[in-house]
């Protein structure tokens, strides 16, 4: 695997290191040792898959609060999507910065999303399938999110939104929840 750290410390784009021959190619998509060597959490608590039937479908922006904060390894296995992550670590120099990465069936790249980041994506093609490896179990009482079109962040989605869940439509703005986000996403001071 080829690990490229983004401008958001701890968030990585992971490309395949393909071994190609006349049959096609072979590549490793996950290895605990390689993840640990890059300082990444290498535990998978759950693996999920999502089908997005219609181009323009948008999911996000989602996160879980500590102590149930999730890492995610996201890969598009059919179709294409634009994935956006936002740094919600109040102590981080990139707090509220974001990146966007196209994941598709051709590049087969993955995005490693650290704990205390928000995550969302938009399907760029019909019948897009996404696979997620989650580092924590889903805990409904720890989940939260904010609007995909939050004016504070200026996230650029490439297509008009065609489909969203009722829950995502009713998410509040980041400005409305930022006090809670800062408080609950802060690292507790460590004893000396």
Report the catalytic residues: 62, 132
Q: Are 19 and 29 in contact (CB under 8 A)?
A: no
Q: Are 14 and 114 in contact (CB under 8 A)?
A: no
Q: Are 81 and 124 in contact (CB under 8 A)?
A: yes
Listed in sequence order, the residues at least 6 apart from 140 whose beta carbon sits closer than 8 Å to its beta carbon are none
Helix, strand or coil for residue 151?
Answer: coil
Q: Are 109 and 1 in contact (CB under 8 A)?
A: no
Listed in sequence order, the residues at least 6 apart from 119 whose beta carbon sits closer than 8 Å to its beta carbon are 60, 61, 62, 63, 72, 74, 83, 84, 85, 86, 113
Residue 129 β-bridge partners: 51, 78
Half-sphere exposure of 33 (CA within 13 A, CB side): 1
Listed in sequence order, the residues at least 6 apart from 21 whose beta carbon sits closer than 8 Å to its beta carbon are none
């Amino acid at each position: 695997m080829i690990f490229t750290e983004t401008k958001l410390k701890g968030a990585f784009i992971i490309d395949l290191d393909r071994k190609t021959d006349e049959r096609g190619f072979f590549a490793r998509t996950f290895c605990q040792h390689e993840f640990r060597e890059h300082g990444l959490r290498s535990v998978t608590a759950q693996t999920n898959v999502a089908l997005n039937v219609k181009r323009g479908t948008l999911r996000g922006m989602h996160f879980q609060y500590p102590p149930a904060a999730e890492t995610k390894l996201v890969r598009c296995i059919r179709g294409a999507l634009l994935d956006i992550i936002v740094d919600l670590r109040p102590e981080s120099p990139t707090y509220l910065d974001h990146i966007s990465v196209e994941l598709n069936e051709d590049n087969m790249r993955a995005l490693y999303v650290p704990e205390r980041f928000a995550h969302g994506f938009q399907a760029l093609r019909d019948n897009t399938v996404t696979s997620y490896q989650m580092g924590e179990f889903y805990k409904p009482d720890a989940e939260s999110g904010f609007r995909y079109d939050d004016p504070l962040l200026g996230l650029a989605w490439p297509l008009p939104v065609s489909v969203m869940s009722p829950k995502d439509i009713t998410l509040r703005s980041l400005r409305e929840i930022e006090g809670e986000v800062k408080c609950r996403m802060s690292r507790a001071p460590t004893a000396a």
